[in-house]
Amino acid sequence: MIIEKDVLIIGGGPIGIACALECKKKGWNYVVIEKGALTNSLYNYPKNMTFFSTSEKLEIDKIPFISKNPKPNRDEALEYYRRVATSNNLEINLYESVLNINKTDSMFQIKTSKQTYSSKKVILSTGFYDIPNLLNVPGENLPKVMHYYKEAHPFTMQNVIVVGASNSSVDAALEIWRKGGHVTMVIRGESIGERVKYWVRPDIVNRIEEGSIKAYFNSEIIEITKNEVSIKIPKDTKTIKNDYVVALTGYQPDFKLLKEIGVELSKDDKKLPNYNPETMETNVKGLYLAGVICGGMETHKWFIENSRIHAKIIAKHIDSEFN
């Protein structure tokens, strides 16, 4: 049986929820398809993560987000978006994966792990957190290598390499060190990232300068073995003892899904999808993008605070076509 919808939204994160709210206000027959838990990316964030943004900037549809501190943490965000979804009785199907999308005439057919849908419009709001940027070095497939970080306790008294100099890498390095881990950072650039949270950056710089955390700048991992890691440093190669590698080298959107449905991507390394910023509609008529997926590989350009407006832009354009 094919289930018919006016709008099908792929991705149950904050922006997908915002899109669902707009669809409900318009009275459209819609559904959100999410392959994991509600706001799955936020759920997979580190347990102690604090947002850079204030709670007001994370609000959707002017629904108040009350937090204990000006900058809310992961658990507060999970509670907020969960309450928004449940109190508004949004139509969201969780743990349902999209297998493929096909366009036939003016309709889309979406096959998932549970159903087949037919929809007039499709909104892709899938974020970028599910596919890590790999190191592409020997040994990366070893069990001790991970591309996601949850909490510091498992790394107590262990020799841990943290790869990267972004917010996630810095947070992980500091937390692991404070929980008794022996931390070494491997950083391709010459310094800690400029976009690191302003209240955290002095902390990591001081820990490196005092020698509490070892950092190799202008360096990269070239091989990982069971008990060691080889690092290419300026003018030399160094091998150090190692128990775990936490490679927080960033993530990327599901370009495979975009390509399969026919969305054009820029030919450069940015892989920017082709869409109209005034309507958020892609080169595939009836298919819209919302949220960080709009930035391609430039995942630092779009956040909840500056992409929540996408829901209203899309709804306005769809409304003009439905009426």
**pLDDT tens by residue, 209-236:** 999 999 999 999 999 999 999 999 998 9
CA 209, distance to chain mean position in Å, is 31
Query: CA Rg, the chain, in Å?
Result: 21
Q: Nearest to residue 219, comparing CAs of 177, 252, 184?
A: 184
Enumerate the β-bridge partners of residue 103. 108
User: If you average pLDDT over residues 47-62, what whole number do you get?
Assistant: 91
63-86: per-residue pLDDT in tens? 999 998 889 999 999 999 999 999
Q: Which amino acid, residue 138?
A: P
For 93-122, the DSSP string reads E-S--EEEEEEETTEEEEEESS-EEEEEEE
- Count the neighbouring beta carbons within 10 Å of the beta carbon of residue 208: 19
Question: What topology is assigned to 134-247 in CATH?
Answer: FAD/NAD(P)-binding domain (3.50.50)
* Domain 134-247 in the same topology as domain 2-131+251-322: yes
Residues 271-300, mean pLDDT to the nearest whole number? 94
Q: Which string of b and e fits 5-33 if b means at least 16 CB within 10 Å?
A: bbbbbbbbbbbbbbbbbbbeebebebbbb
Q: What percent of the chain has pLDDT over 90?
A: 82
Residue 225 has what pLDDT?
A: 97
- The amino acid occupying position 154 is P
Among the listed ranges 86-90, 238-242, 277-281, 299-303, which one has the minimum average pLDDT value? 299-303
Cα 13 from Cα 152, distance rounded (Å): 25
Q: In which band, very low, low, confident or very high, does the pLDDT at 52 lie, cut at 50, 70 and 90?
A: confident
Write down the pLDDT at residue 251.
87
> Inter-axis angle of helices 167-178 and 201-209, to 10 degrees?
60
The residues, ordered by sequence, that sit 6+ positions from 76 with a Cβ below 8 Å of its Cβ are: 55, 65, 67, 68
CA 229/CA 46 separation, integer angstroms = 25
Paired tokens of 123: 């909104």
Q: Please compute the mean of the pLDDT values over residues 241-261 and round it to a whole number.
A: 92
- The reported pLDDT for the residue numbered 244 is 98
The pTM (predicted TM-score) of the whole model is 0.89
Condensed to tens digits (0 to 9), the pLDDT of residues 141-158 reads: 999 999 999 999 999 999
Looking at residue 282, what is its pLDDT?
97
304: closest CA among 314, 291, 313?
Answer: 291
Q: What is the pLDDT of residue 106?
A: 85
**Which fold, 2-131+251-322?**
FAD/NAD(P)-binding domain (3.50.50)
In a 3-state reduction of DSSP, which class is residue 201?
A: helix
301 vs 191: CA distance, rounded Å? 21
- pLDDT single digits (tens) 84-141: 999 999 999 999 999 999 998 889 999 999 999 999 999 999 987 778 999 999 999 9
β-pairing, 131-132 vs 251-252, is: antiparallel
Q: How confident is the model at residue 197 (pLDDT cuts 50, 70, 90)?
A: confident
- Taking the C-alpha atoms of residue 125 and residue 30, their distance in angstroms, rounded to an integer, is 14
Rounded Cα gap, residues 239 and 224, in angstroms: 10
Least confident of 49-53, 163-167, 202-206, 274-278: 49-53
* Whole-angstrom distance, CA of residue 150 vs CA of residue 58: 22
pLDDT for 194: 85
- The whole-number pLDDT of residue 130 equals 79
Q: Where are the domains of the chain?
A: 2-131+251-322, 134-247
pLDDT tens across 26-51, in order? 999 999 999 999 999 999 888 888 89
Mean pLDDT of the chain: 94
What's the average model confidence in pLDDT over 292-305?
88
Residue 91: the pLDDT is: 98
Whether 195 shows a pLDDT value over 90: the answer reads no
DSSP string, 41-93: HHHTS-TT-B-SS-HHHH-STT-----SSSS-BHHHHHHHHHHHHHHTT--EE
